[in-house]
Structure 1
């Protein structure tokens, strides 16, 4: 499962996250967007716990269907303004 996690706050050394999971960070004006591939919900829980342990604030989390259906919404959002959408 592919996940995009938007984190905010002071700059963190996100390169070290690759030691724990398959994570790629793209800097933004207020933090970064992390893209990671996890095998299942337990793996996602581990990534979220790791970010919490490192003091990294999660602003939004988006699970991207992998692969997405050809004719429909291929994303689910958790947190942020689009919660429950």
Structure 2
């Protein structure tokens, strides 16, 4: 191939490669939606089952939270759990 054709072909190849790679990029928009009727916290979750067996957990609605909620299901008589126990 002659030197005259190498440069234009190299430019054309780089333009085509750049265009094709740009087409592969994803958009940054968040298309996920949350049901506006979704319940929050413990109202959205139902937990049942006997102590010592696997619990039966069901979600009544889609839920979203920014923090952790804690609820005591069965009050025990042992020592209180501390952060060092984790």
TM range (shorter): under 0.3
TM-score by length of 2: 0.21
Larger CA Rg, structure 1 vs 2: 2
Q: Specify which structure has the bigger relative contact order, considering alpha-carbon pairs within 8 angstroms and separated by 6 or more residues.
A: 1
TM-score by length of 1: 0.22
More helix by share: 2
